[in-house]
């Protein structure tokens, strides 16, 4: 029991990520409303961002900003991994931009069919 508990605690970041991925994927598959699907996609993206950021963490390390020229020499163990931060910095802004495109497409669909519910749209397409 103790072994299981310490295992769960040692990797709690992955459990949060898995939970968020499941919520996002479920919303993308099962929800009927297109905006809810888009929100699900965003939750999925957030899970990936959280995953990247959490694997960059190091125990006992600080933020990846050195003290400048006059500070002590830089050791890799003292600073958290800056690479995931760089990748996710761009990914966050790109996810906002793609969210904008997704909402624009949803607006187009609404303008065409007058609804965002997927089954209504399907039945309208079948009637044509």
> Interface with another protein by CB under 8 A: which residues?
7, 10-15, 17-19, 21-22, 25-26, 29-30, 54-61, 63-69, 74-77, 79, 81-87, 89-90, 92-94, 96-98, 100-101, 103-105, 107-108, 111
Q: Which is nearer to another protein, 67 or 125 (CB)?
A: 67
Q: Rounded to an integer, what distance in angstroms lies between the CA atom of residue 37 and that of residue 17?
A: 19
Q: Rounded to an integer, what distance in angstroms lies between the CA atom of residue 120 and that of residue 33?
A: 10
- The Cα-based distances of 71 to 46, 64, 68, 75, 82 in angstroms read 35, 14, 6, 12, 19
Question: CB of residue 124 vs another protein: minimum separation in angstroms?
Answer: 19
Question: CB of residue 78 vs another protein: minimum separation in angstroms?
Answer: 8
Q: Rounded to an integer, what distance in angstroms lies between the CA atom of residue 88 and that of residue 46?
A: 10
Q: Rounded to an integer, what distance in angstroms lies between the CA atom of residue 66 and that of residue 107?
A: 46
Q: Which is nearer to another protein, 96 or 114 (CB)?
A: 96
Q: Which is nearer to another protein, 58 or 124 (CB)?
A: 58
């Amino acid at each position: 029991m103790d072994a299981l508990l310490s295992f769960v605690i040692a990797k709690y970041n992955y459990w949060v990520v898995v939970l968020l991925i499941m919520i996002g994927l479920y919303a993308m598959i099962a929800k009927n409303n297109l905006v809810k699907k888009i929100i699900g996609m965003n939750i999925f993206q957030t899970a990936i961002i959280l995953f990247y950021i959490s694997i960059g963490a190091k125990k006992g390390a600080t933020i990846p900003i050195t003290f400048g020229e006059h500070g002590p020499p830089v050791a890799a163990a003292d600073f958290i991994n800056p690479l995931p931060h760089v990748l996710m910095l761009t990914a966050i802004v790109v996810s906002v931009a793609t969210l904008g495109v997704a909402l624009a497409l949803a607006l187009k669909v609404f303008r065409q069919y007058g609804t965002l519910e997927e089954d209504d749209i399907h039945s309208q397409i079948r009637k044509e």
